[in-house]
Amino acid sequence: MAAQVKTSFKPIQALLRENDDVSPVMAQQRRLGRLQKIFGDTLPPGWETLCRVAALEGSTLVIAAANGAIATNLKAYSPRLLENFQNQLEKTSGKKNKQEQEVTSIRVLVQPAISTWRPPTPTSVRLAVQKTPISDAQLADLAGKLGETPLKTTVQRILTKRGAKSKRALTNGD
């Protein structure tokens, strides 16, 4: 019969709550998560991916919008949104989260998504192709100005490879 091994491992959430430096951050994250859930329930359908609760500053709920158009719509909609939000808070919070119940205003700020990458357009590709490459003379000049560094070695290697390619092009054409 195998003996059961008792471990003293704690779940990570328990460890984070016990840490004096991290526990206030965890509490704030939980508070913002609750506010985000309530806020998401008060938004018109489809808007939850375009804006989010960013902070609670005193009695002001700070909302981050994905772009200026959404921010403008949120500002116009904010009196009704605030009323709906306060009603939802009363239903869900009870008396234990008094700070959350004291939301009296909404401030909207624009905070675009971090990833703004877009695929290249035909115009940008054409412009990139038209860029003039560095000439061999410019590379040789750069290598001459550099001290004995890995960069100088790399520039010289590029020059050597370019020279070999141009010699091959000349001999293959005859």
pTM of the model: 0.53
SS3 category, 174: coil
Q: What is the pLDDT of residue 99?
A: 52
Q: What is the pLDDT of residue 13?
A: 72
SS3 category, 116: coil
Token readout for 51 is 């804006």
**Mean pLDDT, the chain cut into blocks of 10 residues (174 residues total):** 63 73 80 87 84 89 91 90 84 59 87 70 75 81 89 90 73 59
**CB neighbours (10 Å) of residue 132?**
5
